[in-house]
Amino acid sequence: MPHLKLRDGAELFYKDWGNPNGAIVTFSHGWPLSSDNWENQMVFLADHGFRVIAHDRRGHGRSTQTWDGNNMETFVDDLEELFEHLGVKNAVMVGHSHGGGEVTRYLGKHSTKRFKKAVLVGAVPPLMLKTDLNAEGLDKSVFDSFRQAMHKDRAQFFLDVPSGPFFGFNRPGAQKSEGQIRSWWQQGMNTSFKSAYDSIKDFSETDFTEDLKKINIPVLVLHGDDDQVVPIQAAGLKSAKLLPQGKLKIYKGGSHAIHNINVDDVNKDLLEFIKA
């Protein structure tokens, strides 16, 4: 399995699939998952001739479980090293949830020199936390409850999240997938406790407002209007307005995991946007 040794000695696992000479699409996963969460989109685009690249964020999946550096600044610097190593250029960057924050901060900090387009899926920007200037955000007590649940029984918490709000399986009439739940749990439990715990603060309190304003390439924002994890009012609707070239598509009744539940629709939207 390919790993890249980073500047501090940590090793970053990555997948590099599809046509080695094809146009590149990169994927950044959400909390507390891994690159496995993007497999439907990666296989689909690889089958259409693209080169698809996805990594396990440090502390997640098959990457090194570092004690420190579980923050957005470190994550995006890791990405820049990976993209340099793999020769990424003229590419499309895609991120879900916490990974959407990673995409946003990467483009804000390292510029759009390697990328021509980006896609945010159920992404956390501009800011998840409720503040005096962000009334639509979630109260800090919500994220404190995540931390408390992890300390009490992480394994059960990591069953409760996918069994309910993440995929929308707690909604009346929802068709629950035991496979999706088990996959989420497995990915989550493979992430280090420290990284998963630290990342709660990272995805909830990082303000991406200024990053969004800097992104000078077309960005497609995909968001479910029944996202119970990252409410569209605090995220997708605001991000689309802050982005200089933002385009919003709302998935009616869509959950936080539209790329896992509305697979065909998301794949179609990605392909059309990339090829446009």
- At 257 the pLDDT is 98
Asked if 256 is an active-site residue, the reply is yes
Q: Is residue 48 among the annotated active site residues?
A: no
CATH class of the region 3-275 = alpha beta
Residue among 77, 87, 94 nearest 41 (CA): 94
Strand 3-5, strand 91-96: pairing: unpaired
Give me the catalytic one of 34, 63, 97, 204: 97
Instruction: Please give the pLDDT value at position 268.
Output: 98
Task: Yes or no: say if 87 and 61 are a contact pair by the CB < 8 Å rule.
Answer: no
Residues of the chain with pLDDT under 50: none
Measured distance CA(161)–CA(184) in Å, rounded: 9
| DSSP three-state, residue 89 | coil
pLDDT in tens, 137-160: 999 999 999 999 999 999 999 999
Residue 23 is predicted with a pLDDT of 98
**Predicted pLDDT at 19:** 98
Question: Does the active-site annotation cover 8?
Answer: no
For residue 179, the model assigns a pLDDT of 98
Please tell me which residue in 56, 78, 227, 269 is annotated as part of the active site.
227
**The two three-digit tokens of residue 144, written as one number:** 């404190």
DSSP 26-70: EEE--TT--GGGGHHHHHHHHHTT-EEEEEPPTTSTTS---SS--
Selected catalytic residue, list 98, 223, 256, 259: 256
The residue extents of the domains of the chain are: 3-275
pLDDT at 91: 98
What 3-state DSSP class applies to 9? coil
**Would you state the pLDDT for residue 185?**
98
